[in-house]
């Protein structure tokens, strides 16, 4: 029965190592997704340290490729040194993922203050030209999130762009996609997105941070199972042949 338990642990461990390879790809994808999204929304918050969880999770993903290789070889050969190395690295990665979760929650709480501080400045620097980074960012966000202004479309009346244009309109990016011939005129507010962008940007960034947190938690749980299975195999190796004979009911020749 003991031998069956050891064999089962080895089988589960090999399977988990295959999952680690898949997990490495997922973690790298999530980290890259955060970077890409940050590039789209970076004008709305100035704290670049928000990217730390993404950097760490990409590094963990790369490390999981190596862990999977070490784990498979060490499990098949029942190498004490290899399995010990495997467990130590898993413990370190597990601690790193716990740190990612903590950092994720910390920066998730800071997102709202960051956006609230930066968004008005970005709208004030809007000039409607494609060469202006702030203009591109605002037009992208308003189209992507289907919003207009900071709190609603009327906020545009207090921007430098509105005062200079003097055409009683908002940017075309405020127009609803299903409305043809929309010019952004404030005389037809029903053609414009009604919701402001501030709350939606905060919501989007918090959702992204939650992806990082849940991804790290999920794979941390899988790694705990991997550590337990590796420890079972290690215990069998460390107790030697006498223990194997005892659990199988055998005798020496």
Q: Is the pLDDT of residue 10 over 70?
A: no
Would you give the DSSP letter of residue 152? S
- Other beta carbons within 10 angstroms of residue 70's beta carbon come to 19
Query: What is the rounded radius of gyration, in angstroms, for the C-alpha atoms of the chain?
Result: 27
pLDDT of residue 246: 41
Cα–Cα distance for residue pair 241/54, rounded to 1 Å: 46
pLDDT higher than 80, residue 126: yes
Average pLDDT of every residue of the chain: 79
**pTM assigned to the model:** 0.74
Check residues 163 and 39 and name the one with the higher pLDDT.
163
pLDDT at 46: 64
Confidence of residue 8 (pLDDT cuts 50, 70, 90): low
- Helix ranges (H only) for 146-196 are 160-165
Q: Is the pLDDT reported for residue 77 higher than 90?
A: no
Q: What integer is the mean pLDDT of 30-53?
A: 74
CA angle 150, 118, 108 (to 5 degrees): 95
């Amino acid at each position: 029965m003991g031998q069956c338990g050891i064999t089962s642990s080895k089988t589960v461990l090999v399977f988990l190592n295959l999952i680690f390879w898949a997990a490495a790809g997922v973690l790298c994808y999530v980290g890259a997704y955060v970077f890409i999204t940050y590039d789209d929304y970076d004008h709305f918050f100035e704290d670049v340290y928000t990217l730390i969880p993404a950097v760490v999770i990409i590094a963990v993903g790369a490390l999981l490729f190596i862990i999977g290789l070490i784990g498979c070889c060490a499990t098949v050969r029942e190498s004490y040194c290899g399995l010990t190395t495997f467990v130590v690295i898993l413990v370190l990665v597990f601690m790193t993922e716990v740190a990612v979760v903590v950092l994720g929650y910390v920066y998730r709480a800071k997102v709202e203050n960051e956006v609230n501080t930066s968004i008005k400045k970005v709208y004030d620097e809007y000039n409607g030209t494609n060469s202006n980074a702030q203009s591109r960012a605002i037009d992208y966000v308003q189209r992507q999130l289907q919003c207009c202004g900071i709190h609603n479309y009327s906020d545009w009346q207090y921007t430098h762009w509105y005062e200079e244009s003097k055409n009683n309109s908002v940017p075309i990016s405020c127009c609803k996609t299903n409305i043809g011939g929309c010019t952004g005129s404030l005389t037809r507010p029903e053609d414009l997105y009604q919701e402001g962008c501030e709350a939606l940007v905060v919501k989007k960034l918090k959702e992204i941070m939650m992806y990082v947190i849940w991804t790290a938690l999920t794979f941390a749980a899988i790694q705990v199972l991997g550590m337990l299975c590796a420890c079972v195999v290690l215990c069998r190796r460390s107790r030697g042949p006498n223990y194997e004979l005892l659990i199988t009911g055998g005798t020496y020749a």
